[in-house]
Amino acid sequence: MRSMINRLFSIKMKNGAFAIMLSIVLFSQGIAQQNNDKKMQWWTDARFGLFVHWGLFSVAGGEWKGKPSKGGEHFMLYEKILVKEYGTLASELNPTKFNSDDWVKAAKDAGMKYIVITTKHHEGFAMFNSPSNNYNIVKASPYGKDPMAMLAKSCKKYGLKLCFYYSLGRDWADPDVPTNWPKKGGRSNTWDYPNEDAKDFSKYFERKVKPQVKELLTQYGPVGVMWFDTPELINKEQSKELRELILKLQPNCIINERIGNGEGDFNVSEQKLDKETTIVTKPWESCITISKQWGYNKYDTTFKSPEVLVRNLIEVVSGNGNFLLNIGPNAQGEISPKSLERMAAVGQWMKVNGESIYGTHAWKIKGEKTAMEADKPIDGNQKNTMKDVFNDATSQKTPADIRFTAKGNNVYVFVRSWKTSDALVHAIALEKEKVKSVSLLGYADKVNWKQSEDGLSITLPADFKPTLPIYTFKITLQ
Residue 123 burial (CB < 10 Å; 0-12/13-18/19+)?
A: buried
DSSP H or E segment with residue 383: none
Contact (Cβ atoms closer than 8 angstroms) between residue 477 and residue 435: yes
Amino acid residing at 135: Y
| pLDDT per residue as tens, the chain (478 positions) | 444 444 444 444 445 555 554 445 444 444 555 667 899 999 999 999 999 999 999 999 999 999 999 999 999 999 999 999 999 999 999 999 999 999 999 999 999 999 999 999 999 999 999 999 999 999 999 999 999 999 999 999 999 999 999 999 999 999 999 999 999 999 999 999 999 999 999 999 999 999 999 999 999 999 999 999 999 999 999 999 999 999 999 999 999 999 999 999 999 999 998 766 678 889 999 999 999 999 999 999 999 999 999 999 999 999 999 999 999 999 999 999 999 999 999 999 999 999 999 999 999 999 998 644 444 433 333 444 456 887 888 888 899 999 999 999 999 999 999 989 999 999 999 988 899 999 999 999 999 999 999 999 999 999 999 999 999 999 999 9
DSSP 382: S
Nearest to 229 by CA among 120, 128, 387: 120
In degrees and rounded to multiples of 5, residue 43 shows phi and psi of: -70, -45
- Within a 10 A sphere around the Cβ of 252, how many other Cβ atoms? 13
Question: d(Cα 129, Cα 132) in Å, to the nearest integer?
Answer: 9
What is the distance between the alpha carbons of residues 210 and 133, in angstroms, rounded to a whole number? 12
**Which residue in 94, 85, 84, 93 sits closest to 57, CA to CA?**
93
How crowded is residue 99: how many other Cβ atoms within 10 Å of its Cβ? Answer: 16
Rounded Cα distance, 191 and 420, in Å: 59
Strand positions, DSSP E, 157-222: 161-167
Q: Nearest-CA neighbor of 331 among 73, 149, 130, 114?
A: 73
What CA–CA distance (Å, rounded) separates 170 from 176? 10
Q: Which residues contact 464 (CB under 8 A, 6 or more apart)?
A: 440, 442, 443
Cβ–Cβ < 8 Å for 379, 390: yes
b/e 426-454 (16+ beta carbons within 10 angstroms → b): ebbeeeebebeebbbbebeeebebebeee
The C-alpha atoms of residue 331 and residue 95 are separated, in whole angstroms, by 6
Rg of the chain taking only CA atoms, in angstroms: 24
